[in-house]
Chains A and B, each alone.
Chain A
């Protein structure tokens, strides 16, 4: 037997070894007295066949199992302490065992001695593999609600037949009636107007919109609301609002963040793509397919082709780690990890990420599923840029080159690129030949002097031509981050703890538990992204539709029916209205995955149009509004607050900007003097267009909870902290907008009374109450007086006084809350 012979050799050669052989009774005695008790006391709890849960697939209760080892390799190699993971673990070198304490030094020394001497071990029994293969039970896992096929449930009966306006309302009312609760009354039209405008476009109603809506509701409330909703859904502002919701999920950022904050100059194209997709009402299934495999989809026109390429930016935008050591190891797997995370959590609400290191502890997702998906991305090539070593040694990549309608422009670029590639290829060939012929010693003659000189001359010529070609660089018509097919299909093995490869490559496939029927094998000559994209959005996939309807619901009702919008797993919340969720998912798919139509239907329900009034009885029974007895009150998102300030001050520029500030700076590192602040120049465009730099967000958006753009964020935090108030009280942006607001009031209204009225209308979307009028007037008078010392310029003083009132409106809670 190989192992024991090896042990014996070591024994003979090692002068420091005690003098017994592996099966020597003395050796067995040493094991029984010094080793076995330690194993029993400190290891068996997790590493014995009768353990509650065997950790790391390692058993230490038989000789064979101990030598076979677990996930990370053999625990004991007789005679080789340095190769025995058990010893390294109890020394707390790499692994650290036992996890809660260190064994005394003498005990560690005993183990070293024992292993060096051949690791005598009388314990018979099978090796680990036979016992420990604790498979995740996929079939049992399928019984979990989220993996069950979506069914179209029947609409429940309700007692109050007059209340439901839509079948959706019946689902809500049925639950309320069961609980003995009554929904509150409908919101008044003023509240509804503000709610609809912010929810659908992220902007407050304009004074004109308000007047129009008032007239229309006087005639017919229902048709007025429908018309308003249609108008809002048709406006470009709709995509700017709802696109931003998706950008949160897509962890959109325009720089890398992490430890090397390189800019992503073309990321903005993805942002614009998303906004346009919402405005165009791209069906959600197509929207997803474009983002996962746009490069592989047929596209009849240049525009469609470009759109599809840009869409794949979804997979390239993630924050990437600086690579280890500089040899590229670890980089591709980390990029794939981000891609798996954004795809699985963003689209399916599944935390597959956990299965990178071990079988998922809660959900029926084995590591093999993770590495099956990793194979799909490893067989693709991510185009993130990273030139000039900006990504800290990560291999630089190109971008998707966008087509242009001007064929000549494209051809010029393609020709240039081809010339460059040919020249570079020739340069490498010549270089190799020169190296072959180069004399070994300095001064010696080369093997073939004539050819050698000829090659050298050619080398010079190539260098000259290359330089010229670089100078006459032809810029591509446009570039975009994204993903393309890789050079070859690469299937990857499971990496135990995410670090150490073990076993054969895993065939690429999808999430087993969510796949209905036999898993197909993916084509051997392509990455499988196209098939992944189709599976994600196939009607048989139980998750995609549920997850997106829940996301949309959460943006209109404050919370999702599943409150953990990014997690539909065992650790996530259960749906408060499971039948309603299925009903919505089924209806959504039946209506061609149209997000606009779905949103329209939701906002026209009675449930959506409830007031946010308090009601004692309901509040006692259901303080969290799980049963939807009222509309929630919530704080506006950062973008909406900023856009509302610019709207009130009359400064908002509704035209989208061309590109992004980040593009104009090119591929650079954000550091030292090139701080994020140098990118954040004053802008009157909508907030969705501000540069979203990782580790350097626009101040206002950060203060109001934009969140970390490296992470999938389906639901933002809403914090209430003084930095928000201080921003509204003292930031140059707010102070400046208050000045604009003041000048606008002075210009557009003649007397103080109508100016105050206009101020309230523009800022809060309502008339001031009488006490408010009085308070504002007396504050204004006081402000004029207090500012007398500030400036001699009486006009400016007057504007300042008005600005102090305008700012008070910006600071007020009502300004940033929606009810």
Chain B
């Protein structure tokens, strides 16, 4: 085995660089080592990667995954402590859209999502979520960073910090269709963790997904072969400098990262180019479907799911997609039904594709929003914010399928059994990734910080 410096001295062609980078990726010797290289988790992980499907706006649990028939006598004051005035309604509250049972497990799922229903036996419905506040901005940040008062690293950044990433040619943490409100970039930021752990955005809410990409990965001003020669020229100078400097790990890092950057131009464009998929695949993911609800086009969410699959296949560690139209203060029934229809096929297609590739077993899909909604008693009404009880679903990545965990009260408003706080969700996600949320710490300002602060319990009951 020869040392990297020897390699640097002898290699001069573009081909050689690639070979050298291969060597570097497995480096174990002292000297420069990328902090993004895969790291050993605390214990054997069940999941290797996460696809977080963020439903911004707070999905109504009783009209998606928490079936509450309204044929009971419930007084309006039971709906939720926060629900008053025009939202309170009269009479029994609960689900205002039809539900059906799916799979061997017989999980109840709203009729707007029949395709997702086909995967019921792989879903773990958590019906007992709760969080601190019923306000979007705080709870959205809470969901993404575990805190809403101070700038803290996002879940994805903690994950990269703990595990590194498998494909050094792609960013390890990607946030597709990122929010611009409610915390904006802080939701995928690294705060006090080194900046390399922050998420890379692709597009933002309101932008066309078909045109969204990662900044600066496309070289348009030079022919590709000329750019290669340009980089060769640079690297030759860099190597001379390294030789003159004798030992300089930082400089070695620059040489390596430049090659990586060069390669990322190709790898990123390839992985994000969904046009390479077959017609039938595109159709399964709703790509090209022009229907829209609110500012969300079906085509946009479909593309996100398809990109998520391609990124997961390519070894990206943490991927977030976002559907941002779940704040049904008015027009509740129509919109929540349309939302269900919009996400149904793409998510089902994603789960199916992961199954086909035998990747569902180690890909953790997490679906949910910043909180839930007040259940309606009147289908013509609108629903309000509710942090006391809402639903998430998890799928793959070592969670039990066909399981309904925890429950809300009669109306579906308040989690009462096996409650799961946002902090508990975070602790569980890290646990599935092989990380102990109490040990994944970072020293900043003289103290050890962690994602779950002083809270969080792993929900062992949902782990397969």
- A814 on interface, CB distance cutoff 8 Å: yes
- B443 on interface, CB distance cutoff 8 Å: yes
Residue contact B218 to A730, C-beta cutoff 8 Å: yes
CB distance from A736 to the nearest CB of B (A): 10
Chain A residues near B223 (CB-CB < 8 A): 786-787, 789-790
Given contacts A572-B446, A721-B196, A814-B237, contact A783 B250 (CB under 8 A): no
Given contacts A392-B137, A673-B206, contact A354 B151 (CB under 8 A): no
Within B164-199, which residues are at the interface with A (CB < 8 Å)?
171, 180-186, 189-192, 194-196
Given contacts A614-B247, A671-B184, contact A345 B230 (CB under 8 A): no
Chain B residues near A92 (CB-CB < 8 A): 457
- A726 on interface, CB distance cutoff 8 Å: yes
Within B222-236, which residues are at the interface with A (CB < 8 Å)?
222-223, 225-227, 229-231, 233-234, 236
Contact with B along A373-386 (1 / 0, CB 8 A): 00000000000000
Chain B residues near A675 (CB-CB < 8 A): 180, 204
CB closest chain-B residue, reference A326: B135
Residue contact A730 to B238, C-beta cutoff 8 Å: no
Cα-based distance from A776 to B234 in the complex (angstroms): 10
- B262 on interface, CB distance cutoff 8 Å: yes
Cα-based distance from A776 to B232 in the complex (angstroms): 11
CB distance from A360 to the nearest CB of B (A): 9
- B221 on interface, CB distance cutoff 8 Å: yes
Contact with B along A90-108 (1 / 0, CB 8 A): 0010001000001000000
Residue contact A711 to B195, C-beta cutoff 8 Å: no
Interface 9-residue window, one of A7-15, A258-266, A272-280: A258-266
Q: Which of B184, B221, B231 contacts A695 (CB 8 A)?
A: B184
Cα-based distance from A83 to B181 in the complex (angstroms): 40
Contact with B along A294-320 (1 / 0, CB 8 A): 000000000000000000000000010
Within A694-753, which residues are at the interface with B (CB < 8 Å)?
694-696, 699, 702, 705, 707-708, 710-712, 717-727, 729-731, 735
Within B137-155, which residues are at the interface with A (CB < 8 Å)?
137-138, 140-141, 148-151
- A649 on interface, CB distance cutoff 8 Å: no
Chain B residues near A695 (CB-CB < 8 A): 183-186, 189
Q: Which of B140, B149, B230 has the most CB of A within 10 A?
A: B149
CB distance from B414 to the nearest CB of A (A): 13
Cα-based distance from A790 to B254 in the complex (angstroms): 30
CB distance from B86 to the nearest CB of A (A): 18
CB distance from B143 to the nearest CB of A (A): 11
Cα-based distance from A363 to B447 in the complex (angstroms): 11
B: contact size bracket: 35 or more
Given contacts A258-B141, A334-B149, A786-B223, contact A567 B191 (CB under 8 A): no
Cα-based distance from A710 to B194 in the complex (angstroms): 14
Cα-based distance from A439 to B219 in the complex (angstroms): 75
Chain B residues near A712 (CB-CB < 8 A): 445
- A353 on interface, CB distance cutoff 8 Å: yes
- A224 on interface, CB distance cutoff 8 Å: no
CB distance from A216 to the nearest CB of B (A): 27
Given contacts A672-B180, A786-B225, contact A720 B257 (CB under 8 A): yes
Within A780-814, which residues are at the interface with B (CB < 8 Å)?
782-783, 786-787, 789-790, 800, 804, 807-808, 811-814
- B241 on interface, CB distance cutoff 8 Å: yes
- A321 on interface, CB distance cutoff 8 Å: yes
Q: Which of A345, A614, A722 contacts B245 (CB 8 A)?
A: A614
- B133 on interface, CB distance cutoff 8 Å: yes
Cα-based distance from A337 to B138 in the complex (angstroms): 18
Residue contact A670 to B229, C-beta cutoff 8 Å: no
- B261 on interface, CB distance cutoff 8 Å: yes
Residue contact A635 to B264, C-beta cutoff 8 Å: no
Chain A residues near B258 (CB-CB < 8 A): 722, 725, 811
Residue contact B216 to A807, C-beta cutoff 8 Å: no
Residue contact A722 to B260, C-beta cutoff 8 Å: yes
Cα-based distance from A118 to B225 in the complex (angstroms): 84
Cα-based distance from A260 to B138 in the complex (angstroms): 9
Given contacts A725-B261, A772-B237, contact A811 B231 (CB under 8 A): yes
Residue contact A257 to B151, C-beta cutoff 8 Å: yes
Residue contact B262 to A710, C-beta cutoff 8 Å: no
Residue contact B140 to A566, C-beta cutoff 8 Å: no
Residue contact A614 to B183, C-beta cutoff 8 Å: no
CB closest chain-B residue, reference A702: B195
Given contacts A259-B182, A319-B151, contact A782 B254 (CB under 8 A): no
- B409 on interface, CB distance cutoff 8 Å: no
Residue contact A707 to B251, C-beta cutoff 8 Å: no
Residue contact A726 to B229, C-beta cutoff 8 Å: no
- B6 on interface, CB distance cutoff 8 Å: no
- A163 on interface, CB distance cutoff 8 Å: no
Residue contact B238 to A813, C-beta cutoff 8 Å: yes
Given contacts A363-B446, A633-B245, A814-B241, contact A786 B184 (CB under 8 A): no
CB distance from A770 to the nearest CB of B (A): 12
CB distance from B61 to the nearest CB of A (A): 21
Cα-based distance from A814 to B243 in the complex (angstroms): 13
Residue contact A813 to B151, C-beta cutoff 8 Å: no
- B106 on interface, CB distance cutoff 8 Å: no
Cα-based distance from A569 to B184 in the complex (angstroms): 34
Residue contact B250 to A808, C-beta cutoff 8 Å: no
Cα-based distance from A729 to B265 in the complex (angstroms): 10
CB distance from A675 to the nearest CB of B (A): 6
- A351 on interface, CB distance cutoff 8 Å: yes
Cα-based distance from A725 to B263 in the complex (angstroms): 11
- B253 on interface, CB distance cutoff 8 Å: yes
- A619 on interface, CB distance cutoff 8 Å: yes
CB distance from A350 to the nearest CB of B (A): 9
Q: Which of A260, A717, A723 has the most CB of B within 10 A?
A: A723
Residue contact B186 to A258, C-beta cutoff 8 Å: yes
A-B pairs with beta carbons under 8 Å apart, 12 shown: A257-B186, A259-B137, A322-B137, A322-B148, A325-B133, A695-B186, A720-B32, A726-B261, A783-B229, A787-B226, A808-B230, A814-B241
Using CB atoms and an 8 Å cutoff, list the residues of chain B in contact with chain A. 32, 36, 133, 135-138, 140-141, 148-151, 171, 180-186, 189-192, 194-196, 200, 204, 206, 215-223, 225-227, 229-231, 233-234, 236-238, 241, 245-248, 250-251, 253-258, 260-262, 264-265, 443, 445-447, 455, 457
Given pairs A614-B248, A707-B195, 18 additional interface contacts (CB within 8 A): A257-B186, A259-B136, A259-B137, A321-B138, A354-B447, A569-B446, A571-B443, A635-B250, A675-B180, A695-B183, A719-B194, A727-B216, A730-B216, A730-B220, A811-B258, A813-B237, A813-B238, A813-B254
